[in-house]
Amino acid sequence: MKTHAFKGLMRKEWLLSKNTFILLICFKLFIWAVVLSGSVLTNNHELLYIATSMIIGIHVIYITMIVGAGLSLEEKSQMWLHSPRSMSMILGSKLLTGILLQITSLCMAFLLLGITVIFFYPGGTTVNLLTAGSIFQMSVLITVSGLELAMFYTFYWAIYHSMGRFNYLAKFKVVLFTLFIIVSFLLILFIEKQLLGGLQSVLPVPIEMTKFMNVHIGEDGLWISSGGEKISWVGLLFSTLKITGLFFLSSWLLNKAVEVK
């Protein structure tokens, strides 16, 4: 029963998010086409490589944009106030929809990179292509980072709209909300620093994963290579705890809210 209900929520989220998804796809293709035209006219293919790399990197905010658009529609329509489903299930469907749409868009972005390499390979230029493994690792890290960012956005969105329940806070709502963001971020950074420093001695073995893509332009030509960084297991564990904690806190806050304003 719950599986069918969740499938129904996923379908609803797709219907709510498809316009945003199509708009973002069209915007991405438009930017790529503009830079492509400029590269062809100026015979400067490096511009296209750099633009394509930036398109891939910007996906770190993709889930936040999809979830943010969904929350905005929920705020306007008030649909979830009349939904029999739990808030955790509703938020879960939004996040999963955002993840699936980001993966789809990210695959298209890497496809654009492949087209760039195949059809716009300038003579005398050396291109160090990313491996399938490094592309997968980069996609995982972009998705995890994007999910964490989306959860922070959802949490603060829930805090802001939950404050609307208290009329006496109306005049100071923006100020209090800004202070809350600053204090909570500082507190999270402090706790994270203390925990990472203490637990890294227990789990000291880091793993190296591809975190970014380097585009090198020099006299000898152009190089594209993966950039790896050592990531601790403690850091990954803490990110998982933050995502989980923020998810349940956001669900609890929105369950307590009588009306989303």
Lowest-confidence range among 76-90, 92-106, 174-188, 242-256?
76-90
Phi, psi torsion values for 19, nearest 5 degrees? -65, -40
Distance CA 74, CA 59 (A): 23
Kindly report, residue by residue over 24-78, the tens digit of the pLDDT.
Answer: 999 999 999 998 888 888 877 778 878 888 888 889 899 999 998 888 887 777 6
C-beta of residue 54 within 8 angstroms of C-beta of residue 224? no
- Look up residue 52 and give its two tokens: 């394509």
Phi, psi of 129 (to 5 degrees): -70, 150
- For the cut 50, the answer to whether the pLDDT of residue 192 exceeds it is yes
Which residues, 6 or more positions from 71, have their beta carbon under 8 angstroms from its beta carbon? 94, 154, 157
pLDDT > 70 fraction of the chain, expressed in percent and rounded: 71
Give the per-residue pLDDT at 151.
92
pLDDT of residue 52: 85
Q: Are 98 and 150 in contact (CB under 8 A)?
A: yes
User: Cα–Cα distance between 176 and 162 in angstroms, integer?
Assistant: 13
Return the higher-pLDDT residue of 115 and 182. Answer: 182
What pLDDT is attached to residue 247?
Answer: 92
Q: Is 50 exceeded by the pLDDT of residue 261? A: no
The pTM of the full predicted model, rounded to 2 decimals, is 0.80
The tokens for 46 are 């490096």
Residue 43: which residues within 8 A CB-CB, separation 6 or more?
A: none
User: Has residue 170 got a pLDDT over 90?
Assistant: no
The model's confidence at residue 127, banded by pLDDT at 50, 70 and 90, is very low
Q: Residue 10 pLDDT more than 70?
A: yes
Per-residue confidence (pLDDT) for residue 126, from 0 to 100: 44
The pLDDT confidence band at residue 119, using thresholds 50, 70 and 90, is: confident
